[in-house]
């Protein structure tokens, strides 16, 4: 399907207006060199088997490494990772220098203090136009203590939080707005 320039700009703006989390996806190539990119296109695909997907631009410097990768890690970021998210979105940046990544059991870069970390094995790779869709089987899940942030209209936003009043443990939780829909 061909898209005219004016509708292409509208499509880009529409996608920027959809709030999502921000992730850093990491792997290593056959020489053991670490590669990574920032992605806001990330979602669950299946519970059984546990599958997730993320998308990588065909023009990305790390494209060859991910096109060949058998494994990768997905890190859902927190507000304090905003600079890191920008670094991993920047072509030619020294992405891993001083960033806090350590090798996982497979030697892949792993960010320990992410809100959520997913260690994935390739399930499928699909041509998605100007992107490669990476579908991974989740082999290991890590849950951090901090809330993730939201990427919306090309900016990072913190979620409003309230304190848990249950007394079990003081913890910040997302502010919940309840709607009375009437028909439910």
Claim: this prediction has a pTM higher than 0.85? no
Burial of residue 51 (number of CB atoms within 10 Å: 0-12, 13-18, 19+): middle
Regarding the domain delimited by 7-158, which CATH topology (the fold level of the hierarchy) does it fall under? Pnp Oxidase; Chain A (2.30.110)
Q: What is the distance of C-alpha 92 from the center of its chain?
A: 20
CA triple 39-58-142, angle to 5 deg = 30
pLDDT for the residue 16: 77
Domain map (residue ranges) of the chain: 7-158
pLDDT in tens, the chain (184 residues): 455 656 788 878 877 777 778 999 999 999 999 999 999 889 999 999 999 999 999 999 999 999 999 999 999 999 889 899 999 999 999 999 999 999 999 999 999 999 999 999 999 999 988 899 999 999 999 998 888 888 777 777 777 766 656 654 445 555 555 555 554 4
């Amino acid at each position: 399907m061909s898209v005219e320039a004016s509708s292409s700009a509208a499509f880009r703006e529409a996608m920027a207006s959809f709030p999502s989390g921000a992730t850093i996806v990491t792997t290593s190539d056959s020489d053991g060199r670490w590669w990574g990119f920032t992605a806001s296109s990330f979602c669950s695909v299946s519970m059984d088997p546990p599958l997730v997907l993320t998308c990588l631009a065909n023009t990305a410097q790390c494209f060859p490494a991910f096109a060949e990768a058998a494994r990768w890690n997905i890190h859902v970021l927190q507000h304090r990772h905003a600079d890191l998210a920008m670094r991993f979105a920047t072509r030619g940046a020294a992405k891993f220098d001083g960033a806090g990544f350590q090798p996982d059991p497979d030697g892949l870069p792993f960010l320990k203090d992410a809100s959520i970390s997913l260690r994935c094995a390739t399930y499928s790779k699909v041509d998605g136009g100007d992107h490669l869709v990476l579908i991974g089987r989740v082999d290991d899940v890590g849950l951090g203590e901090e809330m993730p942030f939201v990427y919306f209209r090309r900016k990072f936003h913190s979620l409003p939080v309230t304190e848990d009043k249950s007394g079990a443990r003081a913890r910040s939780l997302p502010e919940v707005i309840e709607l009375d829909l009437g028909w439910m």
